[in-house]
Chains A and B, each alone.
Chain A
Amino acid sequence: MPNVWAEMNGKPSDMKAFKYILLVFFLGLGIFCQAQEDGEILKPQKGIFLLQNATLVTVTKGILENSDLLIADGLIQKIGKNLSFPDAQLIDCTGKFIYPGMIDSGNRLGLVEVNSVSETQDFMEIGNVTPNMQALTAVNPNAVAIAVTRVNGVTSSIALPSGGLFPGTAALIHLNGYTPDQMYGGFKGVILNFPSSARTSTYDTRSEEDVQKESEEAQKKLDDIWEKAVSYHRLKSAGAMLDYYPEMEHLSKVIAGEISLMIEANAAVDIRRAIKWVKDNNVTAILTGVSEGWRIAEEIASSGLSVIAGPVLTIPSRQSDRYDAAYTNPGILVKAGVKVALRTNDAENVRNLPFHAGFAAAYGMGKEEALKAVTIHAAEIFGLDHQIGSLEEGKMGNLFITDGDPFEPRTQISHLFIQGYKIPMTNRQIRLYQEFNERSPGLEQ
């Protein structure tokens, strides 16, 4: 189209006149189309963006004042002072801050649309041992909650299947893209719900005896399954012809170290057993949940295992616990020397991740560690620290621009980039606000 504009400035020949007519036609069509539309359609925009004169909170390389950041080809290409780049879209960030995109290390975002409507619940399968169930398959890229989430600076998320002993395989997604593969961020983890001596919720009315019995049975089942998986892996490695057995095939990948194992354990005694199980079976694993981690923080630290803790905004697991046990848990773990990432374990309100981090920060974790827990530490735990988790040249363009601390509710986020795409700062909740804030007609009949 630019050359048509150029030609318009000259004396139009017949051909040029035709183009001119064509242009007028298209312009007219454009106006016509606009009249048909209810509003501007905003799409994620790919391009070259130069963010100028910002305070960069890099997380790994300190805080850089009055600095520029260039995004192109989906990556952070350059960080420095007084950068320039031809054709770059300029974004003035004077007085503003740039943060790396936040990572929620476990939730059901995209796996469910309306929590109570079972037809929209795609995070749980039938069966107790189903490690082959892929959360990534069930991620709906157009879930309304995704756009609601990302405008708060959450750019990446672990989609968690839930249910039985091995409920499925979790996947890291970036909150941009039209297919699950476009969203996929390169990490998968098989979930193991470690046999639990805790009750799932206050609706769990089993007797203490039943809880213990079921926990022991689950432990037997786990050992049994794992023994089978080890045999399967040994046979497979030896080149044996094996029948189609997708469950074992998946566990075999965990044994081979191709897929991570994410072990959910919450009661102190269960965390302790999980650590022992990991050692005994010589697997690499990430501990998740860990709500009573604070009781045995030193033991977790000496195990060397990393932890995905959270939610932070939740009640203590026991009535006798101090009221702030869940708020202080991540900080206690960090002080003991555990590497901690945070999760909301939510679905529609994953947008609250910065607030979970803020509470953890206030209750002992400190702002710096809390920021790391939702950026670089999460990236390191998932083996993706070469791609995400900080503002560094060569990393993915996952970042956002704010007028202040992203954990503070009053802070406003003005721009958001995911995979180098400039993401529209809108969603259905914002559109409802725009429509109804000044309703017309108002009260009159």
Chain B
Amino acid sequence: MKHIFNLLCLLLASPFLVVAQNAPNRFVIKNGTVLTITNGTFPKTDVWVENGKIKQIGQDLKVPANITVVDASGKYVMPGIIDAHSHIALEAINEATSPITSEVWMGDVIDPFDIGIYRALAGGVTVTHAMHGSANAIGGQNVTLKLRYGNTDPLALRMQEAPRTIKFALGENPTRVHGRGKNIQPRSRMGVEAVIRNGFEEALQYKKVWEAYETERKQKNSTAVPPVYSLRLETIIDILAGEIIIHCHSYRADEIYMLIKVCREYGIDKIVFSHVNEGFKVAPELAAYTMGASIFSDWWAYKFEVYYSTAYNAAVLTKNGVLTSINSDSGEVIRHLYHEAAKSQRYGGLSDEEALALITINPAKQLGIDAFVGSIEVGKQADLVIFDSHPLSIYAIPQMTFVDGIKYFDRESDELDQRLKINPSELIEPIFLKEYDHNCMQNVDFYFTNFGRNLFEHRH
């Protein structure tokens, strides 16, 4: 009986795919209050979308007679929310086998079936930075996703225009996994610096060896043998060449300052610090030498290195000129990033524009995709969210979410069950009272069986 029920569910779930992909790609959102983020806020304004892009913005736009109209009277239209630190839509998070694993790429483990994608869409999120975990000083390469839920081809979710990014991690996580877990460096914040410097130097030597080989190879009667190829070191060379943006998991001011210094020494300026709970202590340095900070709104005290945090972090960073975004690192928080941004008004009184930039244009800049998304501008991709009231209000409810001009979420008309895949051998659907998936330390559980039963409640 249950099997039949599940099969029925599967059939019921499939119409969603059809709906999502056949949605009109030519429509006008009429009469909304348009929060462009970069060019101000306009009441009673239309946004005309065609071929997945924003064609025109203005009052009483002259649109073709047969165009689909989405009435947004009394509602608010904002650009799709961008989460610069996420682990949804991934089958695995950590390749925790070495302090440096720059050879792995999250694009290989995209999970298009994750229900977390739909839940994020229902919170107005259209782009996530799907990141490697924080087990290693130099972790894997990340992938930037557009939440095209319903596509079953993993790479259909990849945002092709996004530049390459890589995960670094400082502090307790890498020292716990490698130092305490495996008795190898890094065991301390000294070791984290050394591991990163060693990695950079090894890559430079590797580059030299290859350059020498290339020169020698061109000589007449050369007997040169190619050096051993290393994808790990090739990736680090690309970091040093400025082709990859570093997104570094970090908490304490000292470790942030350390990596700023190391990066300056190696001529790297494409670095974003993530979490960065003590970023407020080194705000002038972050402002001068980095692509900014991507922070939590108010998380603290879940581990020792975040004990001296403040919810005023966003305010201090913004007022000091640091490019700042608010991220989720959580399958739960990603559903209300607009609310997380609003907390910067309670704690430090940021303006509406400053608060909304924390989840739109600022993370877009940090991911190198601000030419395409992050604001409502003519020519940008039509990633849009319609809210019933101002998105910074606690009472705001996202109504519709569009990615590339395709509607992927509609509060009014969507089916209740949005799973794309159901295990037919599962007799009873499991009930989970808490979710700890989608976080920085996933897949490293086996190192910590003795760390107390509550550790895994807060592991970012």
Contact = CB atoms under 8 A, between A and B. Distances in A.
Interface stretch (B195-203, B230-238, B428-436): B428-436
A35 to B, nearest CB: 26
Interface string A170-196: 000000000000000000000000001
Interface residues of B, number: 73
A439 B312 contact: no
A202 B93 CA distance: 15
Contacts of A196: 433
B412 to A, nearest CB: 13
Contact of A199 (B309, B331, B431): B431
B194 to A, nearest CB: 24
Interface in B105-162: 115, 118-119, 122
A115 B454 contact: yes
A277 interface: no
Interface string A367-411: 100000000000000000000000000000000000001011111
B312 A409 contact: no
B118 A323 contact: yes
A358 interface: yes
A347 interface: yes
A194 to B, nearest CB: 12
B339 A443 contact: no
A49 B179 CA distance: 57
B431 A145 contact: no
A259 interface: no
Interface stretch (B71-79, B268-276, B389-397): B389-397
A118 B452 contact: yes
Contacts of A361: 394-395
B455 interface: yes
B89 interface: no
Contact of B394 (A197, A292, A320, A409): A409
Contact of A432 (B280, B301, B335): B280
Contact of A201 (B122, B285, B302, B432): B432
Interface in A291-348: 291-292, 313-315, 317-324, 347-348
A138 to B, nearest CB: 14
Contacts of A124: 453-454
B433 A317 contact: yes
Contacts of B393: 408
A114 B434 contact: no
Interface string B419-460: 100000011111111111100000001000001111111110
Given A199-B433, A433-B310, A409 B345 contact: yes
Given A315-B331, A348-B301, A407-B394, A323 B431 contact: no
Contact of B427 (A197, A208, A354, A437): A208
A271 B115 CA distance: 26
B312 A118 contact: no
A230 interface: no
B429 A318 contact: yes
B315 interface: yes
A317 B434 CA distance: 7
Interface in B392-422: 392-397, 416-419
Nearest to B343: A409
Interface string A96-139: 00000000000000000111111001001000000000000000
A363 interface: yes
B342 A410 contact: yes
A409 to B, nearest CB: 4
Contacts, number: 195
B433 A432 contact: no
A166 interface: no
A45 interface: no
Given A359-B394, A362-B397, A313 B432 contact: no
B416 A208 contact: no
Contacts of B335: 315, 323
A409 B339 contact: yes
Contacts of B288: 443
B312 A200 contact: no
Interface string B374-395: 0000000000000000001111
B433 A433 contact: no
Contacts of B285: 443
Given A320-B429, A436-B283, A203 B456 contact: yes
Given A318-B429, A409-B345, A323 B397 contact: no
Contact of A315 (B9, B298, B332): B332
Contacts of B348: 433
Contact of B310 (A267, A408, A429): A429
A41 interface: no
B20 interface: no
B458 A115 contact: yes
A439 B287 CA distance: 13
A362 B339 CA distance: 13
B303 interface: yes
Nearest to B300: A348
A324 B435 CA distance: 15
A107 to B, nearest CB: 13
Contacts of B280: 432-433, 436-437
A108 B287 CA distance: 37
A208 B342 CA distance: 41
B186 to A, nearest CB: 19
B432 A208 contact: no
Given A115-B457, A322-B416, A202 B434 contact: yes
Shortest 8 CB-CB contacts between residues of A and residues of B: A358-B394, A433-B312, A409-B342, A348-B301, A198-B431, A201-B434, A429-B310, A443-B284
Given A367-B395, A433-B348, 10 more contacts: A116-B458, A201-B436, A315-B335, A324-B122, A349-B298, A355-B394, A432-B309, A433-B347, A436-B280, A436-B316
Interface of A: 113-118, 121, 124, 144-145, 152, 196-204, 208, 266-267, 289, 291-292, 313-315, 317-324, 347-349, 351-352, 354-355, 358-359, 361-363, 367, 405, 407-412, 428-430, 432-433, 436-437, 439, 442-443
Interface of B: 9, 115, 118-119, 122, 280-281, 283-285, 287-288, 298-304, 307-312, 315-316, 319-320, 331-332, 335-336, 339, 342-343, 345-349, 392-397, 416-419, 426-437, 445, 451-459
22 contacts: A114-B301, A116-B303, A117-B304, A144-B307, A196-B433, A198-B432, A201-B432, A266-B431, A318-B429, A320-B417, A321-B416, A322-B416, A351-B298, A408-B394, A409-B342, A410-B342, A432-B280, A432-B308, A433-B280, A433-B312, A436-B280, A437-B315
